[in-house]
Structure 1
Amino acid sequence: MWSRPGFFGWGTVLQIVLAALTAWATEAAILKLRKQPVAATLKDNSALLTGLLLAVSIPPLAPWWMVVLGTAFAVVIAKQLYGGLGHNPFNPAMIGYVVLLISFPVQMTSWLPSYEIAAHIPAFSDALQMIFTGHTAAGGDMASLRLGIDGVSQATPLDTFKTSLHAGHSVQQVLQLPVYGGVLAGLGWQWVNIAWLAGGLFLLWQKAIRWHIPVSFLVSLGLCATLGWIFSPQSLASPQMHLLSGATMLGAFFILTDPVTASTTNRGRLIFGALAGLLVWLIRSFGGYPDGVAFAVLLANITVPLIDYYTRPRVYGHR
């Protein structure tokens, strides 16, 4: 039990703890500086949610200071600098993620292989030491922990797909790599996305979110991926890979549905979600980053005022 929680080890749990503590501490400090009520504001848990979303978006064994820096930046710059909850135009967690991705690309792409193909499965103590010291008690480093059973350093399915195609391999050759294991979305990642999907359906059932954004996002992404795959199956990923790999379901149900930074009208939500789905497909297929969810969210956030302006319900009786 202590050596294999989930598909990617204990690192994610530790990152969540670090992000939560940082989010609470940073939010409290800024609120105190702004002479705002601390306890009452912290109870809305928006800072905690920002930290949690960022923590599950970064590699499990990323250095401790990265999640602290990213969470602090998200809370202070992307949220409180705009006036706090309800005033920020961009999703704070995605701002923090993009800042880390651009500033520290190597650390932000150092994902562990799923336990099915991992040569070494880090125990809790290994994960703890890797995060805080950069090596395990036995002297192992990130490079050794990223090795698969074939002795090759592993990356995410989307990253492997993009880099392998650029290296001249065909889609059929890429899908034979161990990271896929006969599953088009990649070992481990399809179950992670199915879990996020289950959580999203629960939120819909509880009426915590509306259906418009997740449905339009997934339909748009699936439709674009299907058309691309039909016309260029040798160079573009399949719909299954797009829908069940990377941060697709996390983005659909837990990030894009942020009520502060998303469109506020039903028609606007459909447009907002569809636009984000299109952007994810474009970035994944033709951009420089393997998973474009964070960039797509922020680009879609920019359009929200325009979308809301043109989708406002007409008030009859007024000119």
Structure 2
Amino acid sequence: MPSSPPYVHTTGSITRDMLLVVAALVPAIVVQAWSFGWGVVINIAVAVVVALAAEALMLRLRGRPVVVFLRDGSALVTALLLAVCLPPLVPWWLPAVGAAFAIIMAKHLYGGLGNNVFNPAMVGYVVLLIAFPPEMTTWLPPMVLRDIHLGFSDQLQFAFAGQLPAGLAIDAITMATPLDHLQNSLSAGGTVAEIMTQPVFGSYGGPGWGMVNIMLLLGGLALLATRVITWHVPVGLLGALALMAGLFHGLEPDRFAGPGFHVFTFSALLGAFFIATDPVSGAASGRGRLVFGAGVGVLVWIIRTYGSYADGMAFGVLLMNIAAPTIDHFVRPRVYGHREG
């Protein structure tokens, strides 16, 4: 049942917003593919095809007009967000399973777009991370740190046939991400200053990730400028993450990485501008979104620092999705006609 009037009419639409999100993601995707190889494109292609097919199937089973709802672009955005989070060298069924689970289980079993409690892309990602940890933690190093070049046909063959060129093993061409490497090295007794001198690290999240981070930041600013998202979640998330990192780094610089490292990583900027800003599974009011984003930022830092997983963006978003109704209960939107900050 619709909410009580008065209603506000806007010139925006779901399709417009989703297409703007896709457009804002494209530069980062191009740079990510250039840095890590064709596997990024392969993952996206598989995820998009499966997501659209799953969307069409569920719409038909639910008796909804397939073409109308496919055009809204929400399934496309879910597939893109899931795919760019995956390692670039994985079997084809990994993005396929993740996309199908995200659309069928996390979206349509809750009633479809506008009714999902959890962010569908992050549900698909977490299911893959828990069910297939070896595949989800096997990352190709960026081109600048790689001696072995894998072409499109090589990565396509691995994705669909599980085979690498003769003489190559998966362990010989993969390495830990900067977050994984930091966590493992700290557990082994290293200090942050020593660890940061290694080749996998660098400014803005490490070699290969620097330009990706810049493109994500520019894309996020474009979404703010076009009012697809508001400033509350990005400021809350990145601010809380930087505050936690800065506080503990100031107390024990040998044990805790500084705010620059934590903020300028792929998941932090992707999560702040493209994932945690989901209006359906987040808080409703501006102040509520600020609290929601801050909660995600704190959880990301805690999981990165003390958890079993190197990164906590997906878990942080899903945990705060659970908290969103409580946030809305205590941080209510202003009465219509009153401006909210």
- Shorter chain as denominator, the TM-score bin is over 0.9
Q: Does the 8 A contact of 1:10 with 1:123 survive in 2?
A: yes
- Within-5 A mapping of 1:116-265: 116-146=144-174, 154-180=175-201, 182-183=202-203, 185-265=205-285
SS where residue 280 of structure 2 aligns?
coil
After TM superposition, the runs of 4+ consecutive aligned structure 1 residues lying more than 3 A away are: 313-316
- What CA distance in whole angstroms lies between the structure 2 residues aligned with 1:37 and 1:86? 16
- What CA distance in whole angstroms lies between the structure 2 residues aligned with 1:121 and 1:162? 28
SS where residue 7 of structure 1 aligns?
helix
Gaps of 5+ in 1: 147-153
Q: Does the 8 A contact of 2:89 with 2:158 survive in 1?
A: yes
**Partner residue, 1:89:** 117
2:83 equivalent to 1:55: yes
Q: Which amino acid aligns with 1:299?
A: L
SS where residue 6 of structure 1 aligns?
helix
- What CA distance in whole angstroms lies between the structure 1 residues aligned with 2:270 and 2:311? 12
- What CA distance in whole angstroms lies between the structure 1 residues aligned with 2:239 and 2:108? 34
SS where residue 144 of structure 2 aligns?
coil
- What CA distance in whole angstroms lies between the structure 2 residues aligned with 1:209 and 1:74? 22
SS where residue 86 of structure 1 aligns?
coil
SS where residue 117 of structure 2 aligns?
coil
2:327 equivalent to 1:307: yes
Q: Does the 8 A contact of 1:126 with 1:136 survive in 2?
A: yes
Deviates more, 1:134-143 or 1:268-277: 134-143
CA deviations on 1:175-205 (whole Å, 9 max, x unpaired) are 122211x436211123222211111001111
- What CA distance in whole angstroms lies between the structure 1 residues aligned with 2:79 and 2:192? 36
- What CA distance in whole angstroms lies between the structure 1 residues aligned with 2:85 and 2:131? 15
Once the two structures are TM-superposed, the CA of residue 315 in structure 1 deviates from its matched residue by 4.7
Identity of aligned residues (%): 51
CA separation of 1:137/1:313 partners in 2, compared to 1, >3 Å: closer, same or farther? closer
Q: Which amino acid aligns with 1:105?
A: P
Q: How many residues align?
A: 305
Once the two structures are TM-superposed, the CA of residue 137 in structure 1 deviates from its matched residue by 3.8
CA deviations on 1:3-25 (whole Å, 9 max, x unpaired) are x9521111001110110000000
Gaps of 5+ in 2: 1-31, 337-341
**Partner residue, 1:151:** none
Q: Does the 8 A contact of 1:267 with 1:311 survive in 2?
A: yes
Once the two structures are TM-superposed, the CA of residue 254 in structure 1 deviates from its matched residue by 0.3
Equivalent of residue 65 in structure 1, options 72, 93, 104 = 93
2:272 equivalent to 1:272: no
Deviates more, 1:274-283 or 1:188-197: 188-197
Once the two structures are TM-superposed, the CA of residue 310 in structure 1 deviates from its matched residue by 1.1
- What CA distance in whole angstroms lies between the structure 1 residues aligned with 2:70 and 2:64? 11
Q: Does the 8 A contact of 1:200 with 1:253 survive in 2?
A: yes
Equivalent of residue 128 in structure 2, options 85, 100, 103 = 100
TM-score, length of structure 2 as denominator length? 0.86
TM-score, length of structure 1 as denominator length? 0.92
- What CA distance in whole angstroms lies between the structure 1 residues aligned with 2:187 and 2:55? 43
CA deviations on 1:271-300 (whole Å, 9 max, x unpaired) are 001111111111111111111000000011
**Partner residue, 2:29:** none
What RMSD in Å do the two structures reach over aligned CA positions?
A: 1.5
- What CA distance in whole angstroms lies between the structure 1 residues aligned with 2:319 and 2:94? 23
- What CA distance in whole angstroms lies between the structure 1 residues aligned with 2:204 and 2:66? 47
SS where residue 208 of structure 1 aligns?
coil
- What CA distance in whole angstroms lies between the structure 2 residues aligned with 1:184 and 1:269? 26
Deviates more, 1:169-178 or 1:31-40: 169-178
CA deviations on 1:224-268 (whole Å, 9 max, x unpaired) are 110011011111111111011240100000000111111110110
SS where residue 35 of structure 2 aligns?
coil
2:54 equivalent to 1:26: yes
Q: Which amino acid aligns with 2:295?
A: L
